[in-house]
């Protein structure tokens, strides 16, 4: 009887040990799995904006694209939106496009947010979060700088200041 209990305890400990090891491995490697690498072509997508117009990323080739993933509930996103809007007004005539991808919220929530901040750049909604998944987005906000050839120049997570947004737009200006 004692031997059987010892075997069961050993098996349980081994299973628990394996589970802990797997969890640690998964946590330490998840940050390394970036789906869109710097220097590669940005994955193409088509999303619809708040006015019903379709935006295909590849249609912006020849321009720099400031591709921003955000949510209305995300405080850092909320802080950087007015800065993005100011810089968009400065750079849109110089060949830099802002494309703000909302991560699956309702039209109502996004429209209210857009009106509150009087945003003038295109806002598209990734309703089924396919684009978010394709780009491996987590956490928000996340921004990709894409050059005129459609290649990813830089990937940034976290809140941006007005100065950093300006500098990034300078970098992707054609």
Phi, psi of 10 (to 5 degrees): -65, -45
Distance, CA of 149 to chain centre: 20
The CA-atom distances, in angstroms, between 52 and each of 49, 55, 111, 119, 168 are: 5, 10, 13, 16, 29
The CA-atom distances, in angstroms, between 94 and each of 63, 80, 163 are: 9, 21, 17
Give the Cα separation of 150 and 44 in Å (integer): 9
Query: Token digits for 15?
Result: 């299973």
pLDDT of 93: 95
Rounded mean pLDDT, 61-68: 96
The 10s digit of each residue's pLDDT in 136-146 is 888 899 999 99
Q: How confident is the model at residue 19 (pLDDT cuts 50, 70, 90)?
A: low
CATH architecture entry for 40-172: 3-Layer(aba) Sandwich (3.40)
Q: What percent of the chain has pLDDT over 90?
A: 64
pTM of the model: 0.79
Range with the largest mean pLDDT of 20-24, 104-108, 150-154: 150-154
Query: Token digits for 158?
Result: 């976290």
Rounded mean pLDDT, 4-23: 77
Q: Between residues 11 and 116, which one has the greater pLDDT? A: 116
The 10s digit of each residue's pLDDT in 92-131 is 999 999 999 999 889 999 999 999 999 999 999 998 888 9
pLDDT of 32: 46
Counting Cβ atoms within 10 Å, is residue 69 exposed (0-12), middle (13-18) or buried (19+)?
A: buried
Distance, CA of 148 to chain centre: 19
If phi over 0 gives left and psi between -120 and 50 gives alpha, with beta otherwise, what is residue 129? left
Domain boundaries, given as residue ranges, for the chain:
1-32, 40-172
pLDDT of 150: 94
Report whether pLDDT(2) > 60.
yes
């Amino acid at each position: 009887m004692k031997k059987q209990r010892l075997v069961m305890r050993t098996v349980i400990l081994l299973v628990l040990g394996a589970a802990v090891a797997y969890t640690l491995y998964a946590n330490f490697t998840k940050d390394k799995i970036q789906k869109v690498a710097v220097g590669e072509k940005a994955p193409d997508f088509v999303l619809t904006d708040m006015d019903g117009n379709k935006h295909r990323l590849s249609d912006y080739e020849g321009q720099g694209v400031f591709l921003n993933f955000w949510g209305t509930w995300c405080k850092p996103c909320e802080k950087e939106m007015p800065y993005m809007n100011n810089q968009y007004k400065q750079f849109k005539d110089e060949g830099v496009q802002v494309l703000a991808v909302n991560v699956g919220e309702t039209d109502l929530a996004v429209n209210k947010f857009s009106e509150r901040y009087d945003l003038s750049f295109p806002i598209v909604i990734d309703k089924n979060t396919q684009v978010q998944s394709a780009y491996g987005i987590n956490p928000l906000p996340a921004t990709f700088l894409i050059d005129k050839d459609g290649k990813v120049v830089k990937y940034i997570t976290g809140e941006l200041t007005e100065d950093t947004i300006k500098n990034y737009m300078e970098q992707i200006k054609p």
